[in-house]
A and B are shown apart, each in its own frame.
Chain A
Amino acid sequence: MTRLRDLTIGQKRALWAWAFLAVPVAYFVAIRFYPAAEAFRASFTNWNIVGKMEWIGVANYTRLAGDAVFWKVIGNTFLYLALGVPVSMLLSFVVAYGLDRVHFGHGLLRALYFVPHLTTAVAMAWVWRWFYQAPPVGAFNVWLTSLGFAQMPFLRSTTQALPAVLAPAIWAGIGFQVVIFLAGLKAIPRTYYEAAAIDGAGAWRVLFEVTVPSLKPTIVFLVVTSSIAYLRIFDYVYAMTNGQGGPLDSTKPLVLMIFETAFKHFEMGYAATQTVVLFVILLVISLLQLKALRSR
């Protein structure tokens, strides 16, 4: 038997490292990996929370493939992603770019942009819900009609509801993205700009050939985190549509469907199947983005 003192220094270090790592590893196995593995197993059963788990093979997966609501929900989920990521990135970059140039009241402005990020999503969603009301109650419609435009149904329209739900989510997320962008902008060496100025580059050229390329790591980070956030959107939809994802499922994202299946219909097996699909989507998208943005 090898004694402790016979080990090399490297081996001892590794042993120590593992000794300290054992606690978080045990924690992750018990709290994260084991339940995740159980979810995979449950996705092949018809577990309804109160009964026994019965193995039903891929029946849940074939049911999901034939479920019209599921495809509608997948479409919605990607629409949240496709609208949410570019719009929020663009807005937050513009704000950060401007803020970077402002010195008077910089701290206050930055704090103001960050405040929505600190506010409870449900509270904000409710405030926006009232904004979207028909006139004379809803602020947006009051403005629209006073400017001579027709009033909008917003949350009561199958086409406008999804962007209407997304808007407060973007608004709340911008504060965080602005702060990250500002840090990225500050980290760009002044010498790059000086060199560009000496070469006589215009403001746009500096923006696209110095600033944006230098921000790549920041952009990668924000695209990945915001993509995951929009793919998992739930609280705004739940609060703004009475937990229904309506009208006619037009705002329902995958996470809300999972929640409904699990905790309203108590079809835990089927909900686990949907969770597995969400997991695969998140995994694939994150890997693709990392790969695409890591390449030079």
Chain B
Amino acid sequence: MTTKTVRSGLWLAATFAAALSWAGVACAQVEIEYWQYTFAQRVQAIDTLIKQFEAANPGIKVKHTHVPYDDFRVKIAAAIPAGQGPDVVQLFYGWLQDYLKAKLLQPLPASDFSVVEIEREYFPIVQQMKVDGKYYALPTAVRSLALFWNKTLFKEAGLDPNRPPATLAELVDYAKKLTKRSPNGDLIQEGLTIDMGGQDHHWLREVLIREFGGAPYSANNRQVAYNSSAGVAATQWYVDLINKEKVGQIGFLTDGVTAFRSGKAAMTIDGSFRLGALDGQKGLDYGVAELPSNNGIKANFASYWVNGITTKATGPKLDASVKFLKFITTPEAMELWMNTVGELPARKGVAEKDANRNHAKYGPFIRGLSYSYATDFVNESAQRKVFIDMIDTIVLKNVPTKDAVAQAAAEEQKLLDAFYGK
């Protein structure tokens, strides 16, 4: 073989190599996976966002997987350590600690998600996503509570259908006027729904206890603080709705949502996520108002789902994941989410735009966000059950409110201690 042929062979090889690598760049597609739980409107919102994102970032493909809620945590827990599953994942804010313990999430790069900017732009409740100075996840949307009232039933009772109760005293007064009983004394229409298994436990925990001058937990969230005169007063006020004012009863028409939807309850406390379902209810003319205050004190309960980047994402996938997470937390994405899912923008600037703040239905929830609290749940279902059982012990077993509150506080403290490893 002559030197010439060797040389030309080398040239040929080099040309081939260059051509191959150029072709490689041209079709270099990074594919990342996004996981959330199955909920029609959320799926629809993310599908729309992915389409927009892929159009703006031709090199990146996003695969959207949604898993039924009941299997969601199990599947993620099984997938990520095995190098499978999502690069960007949606999780409930209360699960963050568990996810961090299991090393499923990586911190968001500070260069792309500046801590200062997050804290300036987002509602303060989002700061729960900061651990040791680093943010691990960001929400697209947040939810809060409000009072829903049935305008038709208000008119029937001779109340102004456009003036909802603004204080707890008014709430009781209205509820009594809106309660209907048969000649035998059987309840046929609730003034206010009573449903601890629904949103009432949040209302009692974060709203009523505060409005009676107390606090549900210590500042670091490690101690139960409602075993106080304020806690007892708030609980007593709630129990009085059932026993003394008799404006509602536990289990009436199975649950609060059913009672309100079927026009058999005049008022209910529920979340922004209920708007979609209620708007689809024929013949239901309802309004939404900020939660009633007490002695000038206002409080609200907020919760949210966040998006984090899993430890599975590295290299180009990490870069793509960062881009995608940035995209789904833009003000535009938040507006789209609100209009599709009914949840509120997590950025103050977007939520508090005049059009949103004064919106007939989103407005009260958005105004509530500025004075809202997100409970630092360690085990939401167990903590909810503590409250359900507390009310049942008073109502069914005639245990004095003071003792029932003390017992509930002790039960919940056990849950906190178990979690924080005392």
Q: Are B396 and A265 in contact (CB under 8 A)?
A: no
Q: Are A242 and B250 in contact (CB under 8 A)?
A: no
How far apart are the CA atoms of A255 and B379 in the complex, in Å?
A: 20
A105 beta carbon closer than 8 Å to chain B:
no
A98 beta carbon closer than 8 Å to chain B:
no
Surface stretch bound by A, among B121-129, B213-221, B330-338, B387-395:
B387-395
Which of B186, B197, B252, B389 has the most chain A CB within a 10 Å cutoff?
B186
B187 beta carbon closer than 8 Å to chain A:
yes
B77 beta carbon closer than 8 Å to chain A:
yes
A184 beta carbon closer than 8 Å to chain B:
no
B239 beta carbon closer than 8 Å to chain A:
no
Q: A67-125: which residues lie under 8 A (CB-CB) from chain B? A: none
Q: Are A134 and B249 in contact (CB under 8 A)?
A: yes
Produce 1/0 per residue, A30-52, CB < 8 A to B.
00000000000000000011110
Which of B76, B255, B389 has the most chain A CB within a 10 Å cutoff?
B389
Q: Are A266 and B73 in contact (CB under 8 A)?
A: yes
Residues from chain A with Cβ under 8 Å of B382 in the complex: 264-265
Residue among B104, B251, B389 making CB contact with A155, cutoff 8 Å = B251
Q: How far apart are B142's CB and chain A's nearest CB, in angstroms?
A: 23
**B interface size (C-beta, 8 A):** 33
Residue among A130, A134, A157 making CB contact with B186, cutoff 8 Å = A134
How far apart are the CA atoms of A18 and B184 in the complex, in Å?
A: 73
Q: B367-389: which residues lie under 8 A (CB-CB) from chain A? A: 379, 381-382, 385, 388-389
Given A50-B77, A264-B382, residue A130 in contact with residue B184 (CB < 8 A): no
**Which partner residue on chain B sits nearest A247 by CB separation?**
B392
Given A135-B186, A158-B396, A247-B396, residue A50 in contact with residue B197 (CB < 8 A): no
Q: Chain A: interface secondary structure?
A: loop
How far apart are the CA atoms of A135 and B181 in the complex, in Å?
A: 10
Given A49-B74, A158-B396, A265-B381, residue A134 in contact with residue B254 (CB < 8 A): no
Q: How far apart are A133's CB and chain B's nearest CB, in angstroms?
A: 7
Q: How far apart are A100's CB and chain B's nearest CB, in angstroms?
A: 40
Q: Are B396 and A248 in contact (CB under 8 A)?
A: yes
How far apart are the CA atoms of A130 and B250 in the complex, in Å?
A: 14
Residues from chain B with Cβ under 8 Å of A49 in the complex: 73-74, 77
B253 beta carbon closer than 8 Å to chain A:
yes
Residues from chain A with Cβ under 8 Å of B70 in the complex: 263
How far apart are the CA atoms of A133 and B388 in the complex, in Å?
A: 19
Given A156-B251, A264-B382, residue A134 in contact with residue B397 (CB < 8 A): no
**Which partner residue on chain A sits nearest B381 by CB separation?**
A264
**Which partner residue on chain B sits nearest A245 by CB separation?**
B385
A246 beta carbon closer than 8 Å to chain B:
yes
Residue among B73, B254, B397 making CB contact with A50, cutoff 8 Å = B73
How far apart are the CA atoms of A151 and B381 in the complex, in Å?
A: 32
Residues from chain A with Cβ under 8 Å of B255 in the complex: 242
A137 beta carbon closer than 8 Å to chain B:
yes
Chain A residues packing against B (C-beta within 8 Å): 48-51, 129-130, 133-137, 145, 151, 155-158, 242, 244, 246-249, 260, 263-266
Query: Could you pull out 16 A-B pairs where Cβ atoms are within 8 angstroms?
Result: A50-B76, A51-B98, A134-B187, A134-B249, A134-B252, A135-B182, A145-B184, A155-B251, A156-B250, A246-B389, A246-B392, A247-B392, A247-B396, A248-B392, A263-B74, A266-B98
Name 4 extra pairs, CB < 8 A, besides A50-B76, A50-B99, A137-B253: A133-B252, A249-B389, A263-B70, A264-B382
